[in-house]
Amino acid sequence: MEPEDRAAFDELLESVLEGLPSDLRALLEEVPLLVDDEPSRDVLRVMGIRARAGEADLCGMHWGVPIPDRSVTQEVPELDRIHLFRGPILRLAGRGRRERLRQIRITLLHEIGHHFGLDEDRLEELGYG
């Protein structure tokens, strides 16, 4: 991905972040948000996705233990984090600015939902599937 494409995506992401309610923005100060061009081979393998480089449709992922599943007796888990993947988001959204903003927002809220313990079915019901 070209540097100008990354910069354009990151500008859209900043716009989405600024439009989130303050409570969610505060959450993202506690949970790192990482942005990569594409999911790594290791991520695809862990997720059980078979795709060639640059062809995966995994737009994002939450890595960590969802809040409702945590326990004080549990070992300290890896640091929670949210990943967004530019390439799949842009391929899914197409060329329009509005569509790209929408897809970035949906993907981000989807992964935040996983952080709070929402499963795929509930996220789909909420319009973030």
pLDDT digits (tens, 9 = 90+) for 59-118: 999 988 777 677 777 776 678 899 999 999 999 998 899 999 999 999 999 999 888 887
We report the CATH number of the domain holding residue 109 as 3.30.2010.20
Model-level pTM? 0.85
CA distance 31 to 27: 6
The number of angstroms, rounded, from the C-alpha of 102 to the middle of its chain's C-alpha atoms is 13
CA distance 59 to 86: 7
CB atoms within 10 A of CB 59: 24
CA distance 67 to 45: 25
Domain count for the chain: 1
CA distance 44 to 38: 10
Structural domain contains residue 72: no
Q: Which helix (H) or strand (E) holds 15?
A: helix 3-19
Structural domain contains residue 69: no
